[in-house]
Structures are given as C-alpha cells and as structure tokens.
Amino acid sequence: MNVSSPELREGEPLPREYSCKGTQGSPPLRWSSAPLPKAKSIAVVADSQASSEPAVQWVLYNIPSTTTELGPEADGSPPEGSSQAKVTSGKAGYEPPCIPGTYRFSVYTLNGKVTAQEGAPLSEILKKIADQTIARGRLTVVVNSQ
C-alpha cells in the first residue's frame, strides 16, 4: 500500500503547522493499493518513535473502504461513520507531535469494521486493528527540536 501526502515527504521534517507549534489539525493523507475485494474499512494510526516517550498521536478507524484520502484537519471533520480513539494523552482525535523524533502515519486496510464500546481503551482498539489488517502502508516524518 502506498501512502503519500501533498504536505508531507518521507523522511522529511513534519511541517510546523501540523506540530504542536502550529494551528492545523491532522495533515492530509492519500493512499492506494491493488484492489482488495475483502476490504471493509480503513484505519489511520499516527504514532511516534521518539526515544524518550513513544506515543500514539491519532487513531481514526472505520473509515469507509472506498475512501482513498483525508483532507487537512480530518480529525475535526472525520469521514461519516468513522470514529477516533483516545490517544496516549487521553485526548480523542489528533494530538500534534511535539517531542523530537520519528512519527509514522500508517494506513491499514481491514477485513471488517472495528467494533468497540465508546471510550474503549487504546490498546483494545489497536489490537482489533492489528487483528483485521489485510494491507498496510506508512509515511514517516521527523520532528526536530524547534
């Protein structure tokens, strides 16, 4: 699965406006893959590999399988039928990165919808995404000390 963005470049710094220093919400993302007849939904997970504090910054799941992109600030206006999990900080939605390190925007194609109670623990949501993944792609950016 190929993941890209009109605003982000693989291995390059995250634009300031999508970090905790900016005013934007989540960055725009696009994805494509070979046809997957068993695809039922899409999930997006943004996490950090910052050595001091690994964390999950965003989990958006149950995106319709026909969706191939999210515009900027999709966290503020997610696709109909989708849900956002509470991330490491306890906030539901996109938590802009602050700590220097590597941040991954992973897109998962799932063979079903994630079923979870409202307010389910992050670990439960992530396990359900992992258990249903049939394809995955990733775009990695870095946050430098600013």
For residue range 4-37, list pLDDT tens digits in order: 999 999 999 999 999 999 988 999 999 998 888 9
- One-letter amino acid of 72: P
What local confidence, expressed as pLDDT, does residue 118 receive?
77
Q: Are 44 and 107 in contact (CB under 8 A)?
A: yes
Give me the pLDDT at residue 70, please.
Answer: 97
Number of domains in the chain: 1
SS3 35: coil
Q: What is the pLDDT of residues 36-86, one digit of tens each?
A: 899 999 999 999 976 677 899 999 999 999 999 999 999 999 999 999 999
Res 51: pLDDT = 64
Range of the domain at 124: 2-143
What pLDDT does 146 receive? 54
For residue 119, the model assigns a pLDDT of 79
pLDDT score recorded for residue 99: 85
- Collect all residues with Cβ–Cβ distance below 8 Å to 118 and sequence separation of at least 6: none
Using the Cα atoms of residue 98, residue 46, residue 126 and residue 130 in order, give the sign of their dihedral. negative
Dist. CA 14–CA 1, nearest whole Å: 21
Predicted local distance difference test score (pLDDT) of residue 87: 94
pLDDT at 50: 67
Q: Flag whether the pTM goes above 0.85.
A: yes
Q: Where residue 58 sits, what CATH number does that domain have?
A: 3.90.280.10
